[in-house]
Structures are given as structure tokens and as C-alpha cells.
Amino acid sequence: MSTATAAPAQRAADVVDLTGQSALARLEAESIHIIREVVAEFDRPAMLFSGGKDSVVMLHLAAKAFWPGKIPFPVVHIDTGHNFEEVLDFRDRTVERLGLKLVVGSVQELIDSGELAERADGTRNPLQTVPLLRTIAQHRFDAVFGGARRDEDRARAKERILSLRDEFGQWDPRSQRPELWNLYNGRHRPGQHVRAFPISNWTELDVWRYIAAEEIELPPLYYAHEREVFHRDGMIRAVGPHSLPTPEEPTEQLRVRYRTVGDMSCTGAVLSDAADNAAVLREVAAATITERGATRADDRLSEAAMEDRKKDGYF
């Protein structure tokens, strides 16, 4: 594993305060503190891990938090059945490399059993809530780490670091506790659980600077590559088994990359020549819209789409 001083070239560009700490070092220390606090306070924690950049960074922080021991909790993936194959391969390689237990909740299984119905628009991200809550209940997880960041959208911006969920897995703003400095309240009743967001205070740029500094491997989708795509609703969609163009949507070869790697049926790419971390950093620094606003169709369903999903128990 790389250490915090493994990439001096990237660290040199970081901002250093009067205490001698860089911004990245402060964020890393805060996140590791949160992860250790949750593991100390809760009986059955787990971490959501999709293979996306935020969950990859979160897992890297967890590995550092307990190094040289192993990460002392399982990782959970809610598989929509429409995931990018490259991301699933990366997920499985990472789990094997770190010797982790992987728990998978499947949207497809619930559709096959008749417990969920396909949506008219073909997207599956909004269907993840049911298998997520069922997986949490079946394994009696009392704390679930998530990679949400406050800069992604308004619903996430007002989240606590520890977010209480009721017996039905739902988020109620009136039940959330104040958080002063780095004091977190993990009290909950039987049946309730807590979502913990250790990288809540990071930005997309912070995440990429950390990936560059720590030399963290990501799925290749995050870097520019040639791909057959088509245009829909102002987004660039990849052609694939779960993302097919209509006869009115001509395809073309474009050089693209992904800023998020969620469900293939609702995740778009961006035009890019950024083939390495340095180029991605320059691109992200110049971006004027968040990655979810730029590339996620499911967040465009309504102005309150993410807020509604949060109340139902998603993320």
C-alpha cells in the first residue's frame, strides 16, 4: 500500500496550513477517525462498495485505518443487473486482493421473484432501495458506510456524518442529531441503523487528488477511451446490453470517460482526452457542474429525486 508520503510531487501541490497539515492530510485523518469510531461503537458495521471512485477511496481509507490488520467488516454491493462489466471485474479483484467478505443484494433476483417490477424507463438505480434495506435487515447491519459527499447535490449537502435510519430504513430529518466538531452520536434502538459518510466533506477534486497522491487503482472506465455511443436527453450513453439506442438514435465512436460508474441504463459519459490522473485532475478542476448533475439520468427525474430516495431509505 502507498503511504501518505508516497507521491511527493502531488503532495507538493497541496495546500499546507499553519499546523503543517495539508488539506488532503486533514481530510484523510478525519475520514479514518470516523471509520475507527464507527467500528468501535457498533456491533455489525458494513461498507457499501460498488467499484466507483468514492467507494474505492473509502475502502482505501478503511484499509489504512486498520493496517496492518484486515478490514474488520464485510463490503456490500447492491447489484442492479445493469452494471458495467469492467466495474464488476474490478469489484471482484479488489475483494479478493484485500481478503474481504462480499455481500451482494440483487435487484434482478427481486424482479425475477415478482417482488419488484421493471420501470417503464428501463433504469434500475431507483430500484436499489428494496434490496439494500433487505440486505441490511438480513445481515443485521447496524452501521453502513456510504461514499456520499456533500458537494454532489443538495440532498447530500445537509446530511450528517452519522445519519440515523428508523426501523423501516427511512430517513427522518427530525430524528437527526446535532454534530459538534468531531463528536458523533451513534445511539440507536433495536431495528434502527446508521449510515456513516466518512468522505462527506470531500469534493470531487479532493477525491481525484487523493487517488493521484495514493496511486489508487480505479476501473478503466474513469479514463478516456474510444467507445460506441449515442445521444439521449442531452447525455452520451454507451452502447451495451443494457443501454441500446432506438432507430432514431444514431451511434458513433467517441473518446469519452465516466465521472461516475453507476447503473449502465442511467449513467452517461463525458467527452474527454484525460487518459491519466494528471489530465483528469485538470479536467475536474475546470468543471462547472458536479459529476452527478452531468452524467446521472436518475437524478434528473425531478428536482427532489435524491431527497425522495433518501427518505425511502436509499444511500
Nearest-angstrom CA–CA distance, 216 and 54: 11
Q: If pLDDT is split at 50, 70 and 90, which confidence band does 2 have? A: very low
What kind and span of H or E run contains 58?
A: helix 53-66
- Kind plus residue range of the DSSP H or E element containing 304: none
* pTM, entire model: 0.88
Q: Is the pLDDT of residue 283 over 90?
A: yes
DSSP state letters, 168-206: TS-B-GGGPPP-BTTB------TT-EEEE-TTTT--HHH
Q: Which of 16-25, 58-67, 158-167, 252-261 has the lowest mean pLDDT?
A: 16-25
C-alpha cell at 91: 469489484
Beta-strand runs (E) in the chain: 45-48, 75-79, 102-106, 143-145, 162-165, 193-196, 225-232, 235-238, 252-257, 270-271
* Per-domain residue ranges of the chain: 9-206+304-312, 218-301
Q: How confident is the model at residue 41 (pLDDT cuts 50, 70, 90)?
A: very high
Rounded-to-integer distance, Cα 248 and Cα 274, Å: 30
For residue 292, what pLDDT is reported?
67
CA 291 – CA 280 distance, rounded (Å): 13
Three cell numbers at 36? 475507527
For the cut 60, the answer to whether the pLDDT of residue 1 exceeds it is no
Cis peptide before 220 (omega within 30 of 0): no
Contacts by residues 303-308 (CB-CB < 8 Å, ≥ 24 positions apart):
304/155, 306/153, 306/154, 306/155, 306/156, 307/154, 307/155
User: Is the pLDDT higher at 299 or at 40?
Assistant: 40
pLDDT in tens, 131-175: 999 999 999 999 999 999 998 877 777 788 999 999 988 888 888
Cβ-contact 249, 234 below 8 angstroms: no
Class of domain 9-206+304-312: alpha beta
